[in-house]
Structures are given as structure tokens and as C-alpha cells.
Amino acid sequence: MSTPIRFDSADFPENDAEEIWREGLDAIFEIQRPKDPSVPFRARMESWPLGSMLLMSHVVGGDVEFQRSRRRIATSGIDHYLVHCLLDGTLLSTFGRDIQEVSLGSVVVRDLVVENVGFTRDAPMLTLTIPRQAIDRRTGGALRLHGLSWEAADPIGLLIASHMRSLVSVASAMDDEQARVAGEATLDFVAACVLRRAERWEQSGDPRLTPVIRAQALSFIEGNLADMGLGPAKLREILKVSRTALYELFEPMGGVAEYVRARRLDEAMRRLESPLHARELIGAIACAVGFMSESTFNRAFKERFGCTPTEARRGRAARVSAGGGAHAGAGSTSHRGEARGVGVRTAATIRSLGG
């Protein structure tokens, strides 16, 4: 049978429970709760791997803010979509100047490369976590999916919500092969639904080649961030595409130069957050990600993340120091260890999803 990952705050002391609940979702969000909440912390999570995606049932009591910040996008290593079905309570999301209030029973899509903040209040929901490649391979990519939604009265929305509820009802009874088949069928279904609803970025040429060329372009950029000559001319030479085709390929990402700059800064943040680079000079990191000038790097970094590279590194050191402190008495050590295992497994599963 498929083994779910289960968490219930009632099984652990309150402080331990909240810490491990946060750890399970830390792969995706920065989480804020009121400093003096009116009710004790309570949360439940249950998740089932279904082939290349993850199905989750989740609820947390009270008011919670889930933020997908530039910093978290840069350091999480996650490039997924979330498909939520709201079962009760309140869910509000902001991205840029847009505000989206999600109605009960409706289905909404979130793109995890888009900065956004979600606000929930006593909001049980079902979520499909889907790698970008799994959707792009089925749709041809270049779709604007963030904020896409179906109301509860929409027949397609009703079908998606009903399918997600049905999956939860049978997921624990499926063996690994059945779970994989169910996951693939669900991906085909969701892709067909978004393909009919989502707006596609305008592009010329053969659209069937777009996902292949985009994958080649992004792979080349990732492997050559240190090359200070990396830019539109180099990409056109490597990909054998016209200036117009390259522009259209990167228009959803703000253009080639903006995308390369963002990826360089994101990689710098990842290194500043990584213990493997703790002794590496900031100037060396700047050079390693393709910046000729440390002062230019510092300005660009602060513009993107709202802090200097030095402040980012100090912030990580402070979090590590705080996390290493002692908790309650030794009698609860094994219980905390068990709880921590639940959070770590959830986060690791989310990170390991492949298209």
C-alpha cells in the first residue's frame, strides 16, 4: 500500500508541533503567525506521493501568512505549481497589485516562481504539488497559470475538485504502481483543463519546439552563470534561433538579460545560505556567478532581495544559532526527533518531485 506522511499537532507538545509543521512547509513558504495567537496551535497534514506529483490534505487553525518571497524562490530549489481546492474557511492571495479571494469549493493554481503572499484563516484545503516540467510537457509550456481559477459552480472546477477529493479517499489504499498510474492520469486531466483556460504567451515558429528550446536555453544558462559574456548573442549562437524567437522565448521572464541577472543573484543567495560556502568571500561568490564588480553585485543583490549579501549571510548564521539552542527537557528528545522526521520527510518529498 502507498504509505502517506501524516502529521497531527495533537500528537506532540505545542512548541514542538509548530516547529515541525513549519519545517514540513519550509521548502515552499516563509510562514508568519500572530505573536500572541488567540487559540493554541493546531494543524494536520497528510500527503501521498502519486508518481511525479504530491497530493496533500492540510489544515491549520487561526490566521496564517504564507509568503513566497524572492529569497525563498531563490534558495528553495523548487519549480512547481500548486493546485488548491479550498474546503472551508478563508483564503486570500496577493501577487503584485492583484488580490484574489478564493471562494469555497473553487480550484486555484499557484506558480511558485511568482512572488505572492497567501493569507488563510481556518482553511482546510487539498493541494496537488506538480513539477513545472510535468505540465509543460503536456501543454507545450509558455502558459500564464498563476492565479488561474475555476469557481465551485464551474463544471470543470467541479470535476477537478471532485477528482481531488476522490484521490484523498483512495490514496492510502493504492499500491505504488496504482499511485503512479493515478498520478499520471491526474496530470493528463489537469493539463487538459489548464490548456483550455490559460492564456498562452504569443510566439512565432513551430510551437511544438518551444519546450525543447526553452529547456536547452535554461540548461545552458544554469551551466554558464560564471561566463561574463553570457547574454542574447551567446544564446542565439548556441540555440541557432533568431533574435525574434529568442525574445519571444524569454518575454514571460522579462527578457534574456533580466533572466540571466536574476538567476545569477538567486545562485549567489543560495551560496550565501549554504554551509558549503560559509568560508567563501562575498567577492568570490560574486565573481563565481558572473559579476565583474563586487559593488555592482552588492547593489543588484540589495535591489532584488532587500538586504546586502553580508546581511543575508548574517541572517543565516543567526537562524542556525537559534535552531541549535536547547529546547524542553531531555525526556521529550525522542518525541521531538520523531516529529522532526515527519517535517523533514514532507520537505524532502516536495523537493524530490520530478517531471
Q: Which of 315, 274, 275, 282 minimizes the C-alpha distance to 300?
A: 282
Residue where the block lists cell 495567537: 37
- From 179, 200, 221, give the residue that closes a domain: 200
- From 145, 171, 200, give the residue that closes a domain: 200
Q: Which of 309, 344, 325 minimizes the C-alpha distance to 26?
A: 344
Q: Specify whether 290 is located in the same domain as 158.
A: no
Question: Cα separation of 219 and 173, whole Å?
Answer: 39
pLDDT of 329 higher than 50? no
Question: Cα separation of 326 and 117, whole Å?
Answer: 32
CATH number of residue 30's parent domain: 2.60.120.10
Phi-psi region at 220: left, alpha or beta (left = phi > 0; alpha = psi -120 to 50): alpha
342 lies in some domain: no
Q: Specify whether 16 is located in the same domain as 155.
A: yes
Q: Specify whether 38 is located in the same domain as 89.
A: yes
pLDDT of 92 higher than 80? yes
51 lies in some domain: yes
Distance between alpha carbon 232 and the CA centroid of its chain, in Å? 28
Q: Specify whether 27 is located in the same domain as 148.
A: yes
Band of residue 334 on the pLDDT scale cut at 50, 70, 90: very low
pLDDT attached to residue 249: 82
Q: Which of 56, 69, 58 minimizes the C-alpha distance to 349?
A: 56
pLDDT attached to residue 39: 81
Alpha-carbon separation of residue 274 from 118, 219, 254, 270, 271 (angstroms): 27, 22, 28, 6, 5
pLDDT attached to residue 253: 80
- From 141, 169, 200, give the residue that closes a domain: 200
pLDDT of 203 higher than 60? no
Question: Cα separation of 344 and 78, whole Å?
Answer: 15
Q: Check the CA dihedral 257-27-14-45 and report its sign.
A: positive
Q: What percentage of the chain exceeds 90 in pLDDT?
A: 54
Average pLDDT over residues 129-157: 89
Q: Which of 18, 26, 1, 15 minimizes the C-alpha distance to 349?
A: 26
pLDDT of 319 higher than 70? no
Domain count, the chain: 2
Average pLDDT over residues 128-147: 86
Kindly report, residue by residue over 94-134, the tens digit of the pLDDT: 988 889 999 999 999 999 988 899 999 999 999 999 998 89
pLDDT of 201 higher than 60? no
pLDDT of 79 higher than 80? yes
pLDDT of 34 higher than 50? yes
Q: Specify whether 79 is located in the same domain as 228.
A: no
Beta-bridge partner residues of 107 = 85, 150
Distance between alpha carbon 287 and the CA centroid of its chain, in Å? 28
Kindly report, residue by residue over 249-262, the tens digit of the pLDDT: 888 788 999 999 99
pLDDT attached to residue 338: 47
Kindly report, residue by residue over 150-179, the tens digit of the pLDDT: 999 999 999 999 999 999 999 999 998 999
Q: Specify whether 295 is located in the same domain as 182.
A: no
Q: Check the CA dihedral 287-291-295-300 and report its sign.
A: negative
Q: Specify whether 169 is located in the same domain as 235.
A: no
Q: Specify whether 187 is located in the same domain as 216.
A: no
337 lies in some domain: no
pLDDT attached to residue 125: 97
Average pLDDT over residues 198-204: 61
CB atoms inside a 10 Å sphere around CB 149:
16
Q: Specify whether 222 is located in the same domain as 184.
A: no
Kindly report, residue by residue over 42-72, the tens digit of the pLDDT: 999 999 999 999 999 999 999 999 999 888 8
Distance between alpha carbon 212 and the CA centroid of its chain, in Å? 22
pLDDT of 218 higher than 50? yes
340 lies in some domain: no
Q: Specify whether 41 is located in the same domain as 178.
A: yes
pLDDT of 209 higher than 70? no
Write out the residue range of the structural domain in which residue 164 sits.
5-200
Q: Which of 258, 260, 252 minimizes the C-alpha distance to 217?
A: 260
Q: pTM of the entire structure?
A: 0.74
Question: Cα separation of 60 and 36, whole Å?
Answer: 16
Band of residue 314 on the pLDDT scale cut at 50, 70, 90: confident
Q: Strand 116-121 vs strand 90-95: parallel, antiparallel, or unpaired?
A: antiparallel
